Structure 1
Amino acid sequence: MLMDTHVHLNAEQYDEDITEVIQRALDANVQKMIVVGFDRPTITRAMELVEEYEFLYAAIGWHPVDAIDCTDEDLQWIETLATHPKVVAIGETGLDYHWDKSPKDVQKEIFRKQIALAKRVKLPIVIHNRDATEDCISILDEENAKEVGGVMHSFSGSVETAEFCINKLNFIISLGGPVTFKNAKTPKKVAEEIPLKYIMLETDAPYLTPHPYRGKRNEPSYIPLIAEQIAALKGITVEEVAKITTENAHRLFYKIK
């Protein structure tokens, strides 16, 4: 069994064919998926989907790009929803210095508030980090995020950064489509050197589509392509990658049945 631990089935890109997309995932042995909501509309849609499909779960949080729009009422709403049996994580949250919609100080404040929220509801945290590794890791450390742990979503950092996240922060590493890109040396090195017990699989669909479909809409049925690449890099079977990464996901997202 495979699990897609980070997918945006709540995105408008799937409005026309969500049923077919989900069926293709199931046919590819992707039997469980975590739908990530990161603002009011996407969280609302994620909750609708997990009510409709037994094998879908939700992670809910506020994206750093939109941190400037996040209110205390929004965070209270997320905290209330977090008691739902199919909400398995807080996030995606974190820092994004690539886009300039939300000032860095606002991003940091909302990030810290969501770490505190995750600790109150005792759920792991899904981290979005873009061009902000040093600040992101510092805040996780300062706020004692290791208490609940979490995942570095769509990890693009170095082996050394991955090891720090694992050993000091109690986080694990999630790899997606970029590990299949021919010129993506860093994700491949991480896949080779980080022990499999600290790795999970994700698509981040509809984004970051793996080779050979790069440039087209991504979907969770492509998880096997990511598993195959990691298996090849590690010199092990796809079955072993599927088994261990799924076990890792169940251990972190403990509410998944």
Structure 2
Amino acid sequence: MLVDHHCHLDFPEFAPELDQVVARAREAGVGTMVTISTRIRQFDKVLAVAERFNNVYCSVGTHPHNAHEELDIPLEKLIDLTRHPKVVAVGEAGLDYYYKHSTPDAQAEGFRRHIAAARETGLPLEIHTRDADDDTIAILEDEHAKGAFPAVLHCFTGGRELAMRALELGLYVSFSGVITFKKNDALREIARDVPLDRLLVETDAPFLAPDPFRGKRNEPSYVVRTAAALATVKGISNEELARATTDNFFRLYNKAKRLPTASCGPVAA
């Protein structure tokens, strides 16, 4: 079985056929999914999806695009929301200098607040970082000096230094369908050098569908394609890659529970 630890099942792209999307994932061998929060004020929508399916968990947090909108939400509120049994992660939060929907200062403040929540709760932080390697490294190292915290660099597309420095701090690194794109040899070389026990796989659905679905709506069942590409990069079998990344997930997201295949699906009425 595989795990898609980062998707957005509450997004409108999935609304017409959410049951079918989750069923296709299960049929493809994806046993667990985590649907990721992008706004704390819309957390109820994310939680509703997680509560609808036995094998779907969720996070709570504010995406860096929306950081400026939720700086008034105190750390205590964020921590309080993590206590729900379906919440297994914090975020996604971090730095995104590509779109600059929020100022760097607002993003940094939100990032540090989410790190504090991860440190306090022991739940992993889903880190979004794009075109912000140097500042991400600086914040991670500064915050790590205050106390360790669990985290994963989700949908990694950064440079080698960011990946290696994050690994030194005990973080995990996750790859999405971007790893399958033909011109991403440099990214595949980084993935090759990430230790197998620190590797995760995801879709970031509905975004970033892997080849041959590139440009179409992504969904959790397609994580199988990304996992196969990673297995090739690592020079191991698909089964070994699936086993390792699934074990890594349950080690990092230790609030999530492994379910027998028969229990994966909609919650019984």
Same-fold call, TM > 0.5? yes
Q: Show the counterpart of 2:71.
A: 71
- 1:153 maps to 154
Which piece of structure 1 moves more, 141-150 or 192-201? 141-150
Distance across 2 between alignment mates of 1:40 and 1:148? 21
Q: Which residue of 2 aligns with 1:107?
A: 107
Report how far residue 63 of structure 1 moved.
Answer: 0.9
Corresponding residue number in structure 2 for 1:207: 207
Q: Which amino acid aligns with 2:45?
A: R
Q: Is the partner of 1:215 in helix, strand or coil?
A: coil
Is the CA contact 1:146–1:171 (under 8 Å) kept in the aligned structure 2?
no
Instruction: Decide whether the 8 Å contact of 1:57 with 1:88 is kept in 2.
Output: yes
Please give the alpha-carbon distance, in whole angstroms, between the structure 2 residues aligned to 1:21 and 1:75. Answer: 34
Q: Which ranges of 4 or more aligned residues in structure 1 deviate by more than 6 Å? A: none
For residues 74 and 139 of structure 1, the distance between their equivalents in structure 2, rounded to whole angstroms, comes to 20
Q: Which moved more, 1:65-74 or 1:134-143?
A: 65-74
Match of 1:82 in 2: 82
Match of residue 234 from structure 1: 234
Please list every run of 5 or more consecutive structure 2 residues that lacks an aligned counterpart in the other structure: 258-269
Say if 2:89 and 2:123, in contact at 8 Å, map to a contact too: yes
Partner of residue 91, structure 1: 91
TM-score (norm 2): 0.91
**Aligned residue in 2 for 1:26:** 26
SS of the residue 1:88 aligns to = strand
Give the drift of 1:198: 1.2
CA contact (8 A) 1:156 1:186 kept: no
Instruction: Report the Cα offset of residue 92 of structure 1.
Output: 0.3
Q: How many residue pairs end up in the alignment?
A: 256
Cα shift at 1:41: 5.6
Given that residues 153 and 173 in structure 1 are in contact (C-alpha distance below 8 angstroms), is that contact kept between their aligned partners in structure 2?
A: yes
Rounded Cα–Cα distance in structure 1 between residues aligned with 2:183 and 2:14:
29
User: Over aligned residues, Cα RMSD in angstroms?
Assistant: 1.5
Which residue identity is paired with 1:5? H
Q: CA deviation at 1:75?
A: 4.6
Unaligned 5+ segments in structure 1 are none
1:162 aligns with 2:163: yes
Q: Which letter maps to 1:181?
A: F
Cα deviation 1:182-211 (Å, max 9, x = unaligned): 111122112222221111000000001000
